[in-house]
Amino acid sequence: MTMPLIEVYARKDCALCKLQGCALCMEALSVIGKVSQDVPFQCKEVDIDSSDDLMRKYTGEIPTVFINGKKAFKYKVDEAEFRKKVRKEIIKAGIFRLSKKERYS
């Protein structure tokens, strides 16, 4: 089974967000961590401070969450919706794998 890749574009240091009491990145990672206990996927955190290009692109849009390269969430991650989207990617990967086997059998 091919596991979906979840990428979370955020800042390692949320104090740099300059938003009073900002906890959006931590909240998003908490939801993703909770879902990871039930649904298999790979998760990669991308620190936007690591690149000027990422800083320009995502400074006002963190956290941004991608599922298999497609933007899925910005600012808030709804747990039920996240779970649904990850499961959909797992199903798509399984169907693709099965159709590929049938072609080469």
Q: What digits encode the pLDDT tens for the residues 20-60?
A: 556 888 899 999 999 999 999 999 999 998 999 999 999 88
CB-side neighbour CA atoms (13 Å) of 48: 23
Query: Under a CB-based contact definition with an 8 Å cutoff, are residues 65 and 73 in contact?
Result: yes
pLDDT at 70 over 90: yes
Yes or no: domain 5-104 corresponds to CATH 3.40.30.10: yes
| Nearest alpha carbon to residue 94 among 8, 1, 5 | 1
Mean pLDDT, rounded, for 58-83: 95
Averaged confidence pLDDT in the chain: 85
Query: Under a CB-based contact definition with an 8 Å cutoff, are residues 48 and 12 in contact?
Result: no
User: Is the model more confident about 11 or about 97?
Assistant: 11
Q: Note the pLDDT of residue 45.
A: 93
Phi, psi of 7 (to 5 degrees): -120, 130
